[in-house]
Amino acid sequence: MHHFQYRNGELHAEDVPVRELASRYGTPLYVYSAATLRRHFQAFDSAFTGVGHLTCYSVKANSNVHLLRLLAEMGAGMDIVSGGEMHRALAAGVPGQRIVYSGVGKQDDEIRAALEADILLFNAESVQELERINALAGQMGRTARIGVRINPDVDPKTHPYISTGMRNNKFGLDMEQARAAYLLARDLPNVQPVGIDCHIGSQLTTLAPFLEALDRVLDFHERLRDLGLAITHLDLGGGLGITYGEETPPHPKEFGEAVSERLRGRGLSLILEPGRVIAGNAGILVGRVIYTKSTPSKNFIIADAAMNDLVRPSLYQSYHRIAEVQPAGRDEITADVVGPICESGDFLARDRILPGMQQGDLLAVFSAGAYGFSMSSNYNSRPRAAEVLVDGASARCIRKRETLADLVAPELHAEE
């Protein structure tokens, strides 16, 4: 459920006509719904009420500080993968004690900053990283709470680029290596092994892979207990999928119940890292049709929104629903919706049946709240889009549109 609906013949974001936002802030424009974000967070978080848990929103999905603040105010923690994401989380007022840090390539300055912030948990992904965290913590006179990320070798049945828990993926350690890593951690003076972590992939539309991974991790947890390790936290990562088109992912409640049942009586506190399921359907990308053309083989709708704004269709062949902001009742055509970028891979939709939009029409690309703006770039020297947050009848700009001056400033002032 989301709050982008048609009323009085035009698309609204909550109570605000999207047309008005486009004329006030220009296009391409990301529009988010606060009510949807709150609702999604609540639905997810309350699915785990039966078990001690912390829902750490995955910052990478949408890193806007204002969104992070909204979620933090609801009690969310944050899952980060870089010093930059930690900077954002702290700027949004998230206490270090609600931050967990994953990623295969944590660097010294990032580890130091995370130790400084006294984060809840480092999810270490290699023995070298564990040694590095231990050394830096020692230099700083601190102790780092760590977990080891397990690669459970489970197929999440999603796009290969976003599968992370299979044997050949770069993430985590297999059970044998992880066991050795925990034994090492037990003996290192400046790390305290308190967690166990896994994240098997993103946009999962069935529960089975989650539960298979969880069962393997719980078995492994018992082996750790036999080694005398007192693990208190189990981090199950993120990955719950959303509906872009025809997908029917499990409801968070179903996910929560299945996981909670398996954790009962184990004395483990659960950490979850949802990103897409919170932000995905809480945002749309609004563009305007610049031109249309029909070649002998295809119809093209050329919009001012492109792969630099939303790369998912180009990178993962992802489906995003596209519709007119003000439906005009035109006959349907089959068209590619493309942007101005000089690559044939620049498209938002291919061979899509759509109303025959015309020059100047506004279009909305749905389900663009996660991995939309956060993956955007300046390719072809296109300034990045503005972002607007709607809450009921009010709307405010939460990131201004980049200017041409912004594009060249770091180059013109490179020596400063």
Indicate the annotated binding residues for substrate: 276, 312, 316, 343, 371
Q: Does residue 45 touch ligand LLP according to CB under 6 A?
A: no
Catalytic residue status for 342:
yes
Contacts 24+ apart (CB under 8 A), 317-321: 317/159, 318/159, 318/244, 319/244, 319/245, 319/349, 320/244, 320/348, 320/349, 320/365, 320/366, 320/367, 320/368, 321/244, 321/245, 321/365, 321/366, 321/367
Give the binding range for ligand LLP (CB under 6 A) out of 22-30, 124-132, 196-204, 394-402: 196-204
- Residue from 3, 40, 98, 276 that binds ligand LLP (CB under 6 A)? 276
Select 349 or 370, whichever has its Cβ closest to ligand LLP: 370
Buried b (16+ CB within 10 A) or exposed e, 323-334: bbbeeeeeeeee
Query: What residues are paired with 56 via a beta bridge?
Result: 77
- Residue 331 corresponds to which amino acid? D
- 43 touches ligand LLP (CB under 6 A): no
Cα distances (Å, whole numbers) of residue 196 to 184, 218, 413: 15, 9, 45
* 238 binds ligand LLP, rule: CB under 6 A: yes
Residue from 88, 199, 352, 382 touching ligand LLP (CB under 6 A): that is: 199
Contact between 172 and ligand LLP by CB under 6 A: the answer reads no
In the chain, the amino acid numbered 48 is F
Binding-site residues, please?
239, 273-276, 312, 316, 343, 371
Residues 6+ apart with CB under 8 A from 74: 38, 41, 42, 45
Tokens of 416: 């400063």
With binding defined as CB under 6 A, does residue 237 bind ligand LLP?
yes
Interaction of residue 125 with ligand LLP, rule CB under 6 A: no
Task: Using the rule CB under 6 A, give the single segment among 195-203, 217-225, 259-267, 378-386 that binds ligand LLP.
Answer: 195-203
With contacts defined by CB under 6 A, name the span among 91-99, 173-181, 274-282, 360-368 that binds ligand LLP.
274-282
List contacts with ligand LLP (CB under 6 A): 58, 61, 79, 102, 162, 164, 199, 202-203, 237-240, 273-277, 312, 316, 370-371, 375
Catalytic residues: 342
